[in-house]
Structure 1
Amino acid sequence: MLKHLSVLEQSAAVMGQSAQQTISQATQLAIHCEALGYERFWVSEHHSHPSIVGTAPEVLMAHIAAKTQRIRLGSAGVMLPHYSSLKVAEQFRVLDALAPGRIDLGVGRAPGSDSRTAMLLNPDPQSAARFPTQVQELQLWLNDEDFPVGHPARGVHAYPTGTTTPEVWILGSSDYGAQVAAHFGLPYVFAHFITDGVGAKEALDLYFENFKPSKYLAEPKAIICAWSLTADTEENAIYAFRSRARNKIDRNKGLLKPMQDPQYALEGLNDQELKTFDRMCEKALIGNPEQVLGKLNNLCADLNVQEVAIITWAYDFQVRLDSYQHIAKIHQAVNQATA
């Protein structure tokens, strides 16, 4: 059953809106969701992506940390193969100093971009293969633990140290991330929104079955990141969903565009694409608050998880604010009724 609600903010581009506005709204959303009782607020990393303008989660997290008091802040994620493990550890040690005890470091192996952009970020074509090693390095530096004798990093520290430590999460949308998280005894996040749920149960089952307790985590802990939108009525939710649906239909044709006004989002689609939209509406986690909470509960039960990080795109920022408020309020009401 769904116990905890969290947020994944991707800073999706909106037609007619500046990228500066989009980034500013991420902070407003974090403040809004903290007031509503959300557990975490994570921000993503993409590069050279016309649809998603969030490129530096660690910078955005620092700004949000100054505007919030309780909610956990995290990256979903830092694409580790692009960077030095030491530099990432330093950045997140600074974040932990700014917001002690509420920093999550979600790391992934995917490029978060096209292959050419990934090569410009890190010219080493074998960088992704070092991901498991980098995860180990991160843990040692974040926890200020010694590297083995003879290791070139022995004696090098990631400052500032402190009494609290960022929590490392492994992100994935396939079996690979699940295996890495299970092997190292770390918490795991499955990107349900990337695969539309395909492979989610297999990856999560693999994680739970193969989890090895570590000094960082005694028992497996998993979250799914799922795309969802709710409104006061199912009709209004489906109407707002048009913008996201059109974005996905265009993306499948290789077109990366900002979100369109739902009033015009279905214009120019052929009959087959309109049928695709209808199928998307049937499968998506959208509807009125009762419907969406029911879908999320069913999803959690099926996947054996208790926390969902919700991603909501909408052309109108107020629609996003309302969606997060609707689902938080009905979730709290149900929890109080069953307590």
Structure 2
Amino acid sequence: MKLSVLDQSVSLAGSSEDAAIRDTLELAQHCEALGYHRFWLSEHHSLPTIVGSAPEVLMAAIAARTRHIRIGSAGVMLPHYAALKVAEQFRVLEALAPGRIDLGVGRAPGGDMRTARALNPQAPTAADHFPEQVLDLQAWVSGQPHHGIVAHPRPPRMEHDRWQRVPELWVLGSSDYGARLAAQYGLPYAFAYFFMDGLGVEQALGLYRALYQPSARHPKPQATVCVWALAADSEAEARHHALSRDRWRADRARGVLGPLQAPELIAAGGFSAEDAPTVEASRRKAFVGDPRQVADKLRALAEELQLDELVINTWAHDPAVRRNSYRLLAREFDLRAPAV
């Protein structure tokens, strides 16, 4: 079983937003040393909680600080941008970290529509062109001439593996749409389990596998899901630290967004009767507990969905708690960093 990481540069109450960006860099180095397979970064805009707005910039910084972990976007919200520019950015990233770059793309705006229009004035209809953009991106990111245009720098000619120096393109989604598109184009697919609390995952993965059209790089379907998980030395400690996310989800349901709050303050204040249904629903789907409890739940999910890789997203108000959670899971799954 491979474990990977999705980090979102979450802002913390009592700290600055730029500190969240620096913590992402430190977490990437920490997870590489633990033996995680990939380190992915999300893209969100004009949100006071998730402040990772430029994954390609963070990827370059992580590439300079790591040696073997794969680095990726999860993802670039493609309708905001020209496919050629994205391909150029990722060809440069590939030159900086050869053989380690993933390019996950999504169709969602990663924010509200007012912000989407500020990023791209054609936002109301831009998502309609997502399938053509993915096709263009496939060609350009591989260094092929396409429409008479080349995305530089081009990869070197590789005799034994022509894909070795080409970023791996993933389609991200939380519905059947992304699953069908990934299957049609013969691309890997990642389902945002944490975003939907698992709703629709069986149908999406079933469609992806049933409709999959083999491609030169991916003759067989390759899928993963991203889950939210938090492990601590005891179940009680894990549930205490998970209060920060419980509070955030309850607030989000009421349209209130802000930095992640300290669990001590949340425990003192408790939750209202209005918040209780949201919190209880979230906890039923959460992977929270001591290391063995969380690992057992993750293994059961992977077996149920026939997966050999899971991507873990963890929020905690204390960065040390987050690092410890990844460390505990790495130990439970016997992860090993490659020899340098």
Deviations 1:67-89 (A, max 9, x none): 00000000000000000000000
Query: Which residue identity does 2:288 align to in structure 1?
Result: I
Between 267-276 and 250-259, report the one with greater CA deviation: 267-276
Shift of residue 20, structure 1, vs aligned partner: 1.2
Q: How far apart in 2 are the matches of 1:67 and 1:162?
A: 22
Using a 3 Å threshold, how does the CA distance of structure 1 residues 279 and 139 change in structure 2: closer, same or farther? closer
Q: Does 1:217 align with 2:218?
A: yes
5 Å-filtered alignment, 1:226-241, equals 226-241=227-242
Residue number in structure 1 paired with 2:293? 291
Q: Is the 8 A contact 2:36 2:335 kept in 1?
A: no
| RMSD between superposed Cα atoms in Å | 1.3
Q: Is the 8 A contact 1:45 1:54 kept in 2?
A: yes
Shift of residue 275, structure 1, vs aligned partner: 5.5
Residue number in structure 1 paired with 2:3? 5
Residue number in structure 1 paired with 2:96? 98
Residue number in structure 1 paired with 2:314? 312
Residue number in structure 2 paired with 1:135? 134
* The one of 121, 124, 130 aligned to 1:123: 121
Shift of residue 225, structure 1, vs aligned partner: 0.7
Q: How far apart in 1 are the matches of 2:32 and 2:209?
A: 30
Shift of residue 301, structure 1, vs aligned partner: 1.4
Query: Which residue identity does 1:217 align to in structure 2?
Result: H
Q: How far apart in 1 are the matches of 2:51 and 2:319?
A: 15
Shift of residue 13, structure 1, vs aligned partner: 1.1
Residue number in structure 2 paired with 1:46? 44
Using a 3 Å threshold, how does the CA distance of structure 1 residues 276 and 141 change in structure 2: closer, same or farther? closer
Structure 2 residue matching 1:264: 3-state secondary structure: helix
Q: Is the 8 A contact 1:13 1:258 kept in 2?
A: yes
Query: Which residue identity does 2:127 align to in structure 1?
Result: A
Deviations 1:203-258 (A, max 9, x none): 01100111000122110001101100000100000000000110001001101111
Q: Is the 8 A contact 2:142 2:155 kept in 1?
A: no
Residue number in structure 1 paired with 2:79? 81
Deviations 1:36-67 (A, max 9, x none): 00000000000001110000000000000000
5 Å-filtered alignment, 1:11-90, equals 11-90=9-88
Residue number in structure 2 paired with 1:150? none
Q: How far apart in 2 are the matches of 1:31 and 1:269?
A: 36
Shift of residue 268, structure 1, vs aligned partner: 5.8
Q: Is the 8 A contact 1:9 1:44 kept in 2?
A: yes
Q: How far apart in 2 are the matches of 1:88 and 1:279?
A: 38
Query: Which residue identity does 2:128 align to in structure 1?
Result: A
Using a 3 Å threshold, how does the CA distance of structure 1 residues 135 and 275 change in structure 2: closer, same or farther? closer
- TM-score between both structures, scaled by the size of structure 1: 0.94
Shift of residue 144, structure 1, vs aligned partner: 2.2
Query: Which residue identity does 2:139 align to in structure 1?
Result: L
Give ranges in structure 1 of 5+ residues lacking alignment. Answer: 148-152, 335-339
Residue number in structure 2 paired with 1:204? 205
* The one of 96, 108, 111 aligned to 1:110: 108
Aligned residues: 326
* The one of 279, 282, 293 aligned to 1:280: 282
Q: Is the 8 A contact 1:4 1:38 kept in 2?
A: yes
Q: How far apart in 1 are the matches of 2:280 and 2:126?
A: 41
Shift of residue 126, structure 1, vs aligned partner: 1.4
Q: Is the 8 A contact 2:5 2:311 kept in 1?
A: yes
Residue number in structure 2 paired with 1:337? none
Using the aligned pairs only, state the percent identity. Answer: 52
Q: How far apart in 2 are the matches of 1:283 and 1:222?
A: 20
Q: Is the 8 A contact 1:238 1:281 kept in 2?
A: no
Query: Which residue identity does 1:312 align to in structure 2?
Result: T
Shift of residue 271, structure 1, vs aligned partner: 2.6
Q: Is the 8 A contact 1:11 1:23 kept in 2?
A: yes
Query: Which residue identity does 1:157 align to in structure 2?
Result: V
Q: How far apart in 1 are the matches of 2:3 and 2:184?
A: 27
Structure 2 residue matching 1:161: 3-state secondary structure: coil
Residue number in structure 2 paired with 1:193? 194
Q: Is the 8 A contact 1:235 1:287 kept in 2?
A: yes
Query: Which residue identity does 1:123 align to in structure 2?
Result: P
* The one of 161, 179, 201 aligned to 2:154: 161
Q: How far apart in 2 are the matches of 1:322 and 1:9?
A: 15
Shift of residue 146, structure 1, vs aligned partner: 3.5
5 Å-filtered alignment, 1:242-253, equals 242-253=243-254
Between 237-246 and 118-127, report the one with greater CA deviation: 118-127
Residue number in structure 2 paired with 1:262? 263
Query: Which residue identity does 1:197 align to in structure 2?
Result: G
Q: Is the 8 A contact 1:170 1:189 kept in 2?
A: yes
